[in-house]
Chain A
Amino acid sequence: MAEIAIILLNMASYVLVLVLVALGLVVVFGMMRVINMAHGELFMLGAYTVVWLQAAGAPFWLAVAAAPVVVGAVGLVIEAALIRHIYRRPLDTILATWGLSIALKQAVVLIWGPASHSVAAPMAAAIGVGDVTYPVYRLLLMAVAVAIIAAVFWIFLRTDFGLVARAVIARPDTAAALGIDTRRIYRASFVIGTALAGLAGALVAPLISVDPQMGLGYLIPAFISIMVGGAGPLAGVLVGGGLVGGTNNLATVWLSPVVAQIVVFLLAIVIIRLRPQGLLGGRDGA
Chain B
Amino acid sequence: MAPRWLAGVVFMALAAFPLLAADYWTGQLTRYLIFGLFAMSLSLVWGRAGILCFGQAMFFGIGGYVMAACTMGLVGGALTSSYLGLAAAVLAAAGFAALLGYFLFLGRGLSGAYLAIVTLAIAYILEQTLKSAYTLGADNGLSGVPPIDLGLFGASVELWQETPRYYLVLAIVAAVYAALDRLLASPFGVVLTAMHGDPRRLAFFGYHVLSLRLIVFVIGAAVAGLAGALFVAVDEFASPTLIGFGLSTEVLIWVALGGKEMLLAAFLGAIAVRLMESTFAELLGDFWILALGLVFMVSVVLLPRGLIATPLGRLTSGRHRDGT
Contacts and interface: CB of A to CB of B under 8 A. Distances in A.
A272 B118 contact: yes
Interface stretch (A88-96, A156-164, A192-200, A203-211): A88-96
B124 interface: yes
Nearest to A259: B132
B289 A106 contact: yes
- Between B103, B256, B300, B324, the greatest number of chain A beta carbons within 10 A of the residue's beta carbon is seen for B300
A269 interface: yes
Given A89-B324, A106-B290, A95 B128 contact: no
B116 interface: yes
Given A99-B296, A220-B124, A261-B128, A110 B114 contact: no
A265 interface: yes
B66 to A, nearest CB: 21
Given A95-B256, A216-B245, A276-B110, A224 B117 contact: yes
A89 B114 contact: no
B301 A91 contact: no
B142 to A, nearest CB: 20
* Interface residues of A, dominant DSSP: helix
Interface in B265-295: 286-287, 289-290, 292-295
A223 B121 CA distance: 10
Interface string A251-286: 000001011011001101100110010000000001
- Between A92, A106, A265, the greatest number of chain B beta carbons within 10 A of the residue's beta carbon is seen for A106
Q: Chain A interface: which size bin?
A: 35 or more
B104 interface: yes
Contact of B114 (A259, A261, A286): A286
A286 B292 CA distance: 31
Contacts of A140: none
Interface of B: 52, 54, 103-104, 108, 110-114, 116-118, 120-122, 124-125, 128-129, 131-132, 245, 249, 252-253, 256, 286-287, 289-290, 292-297, 300-301, 304, 324
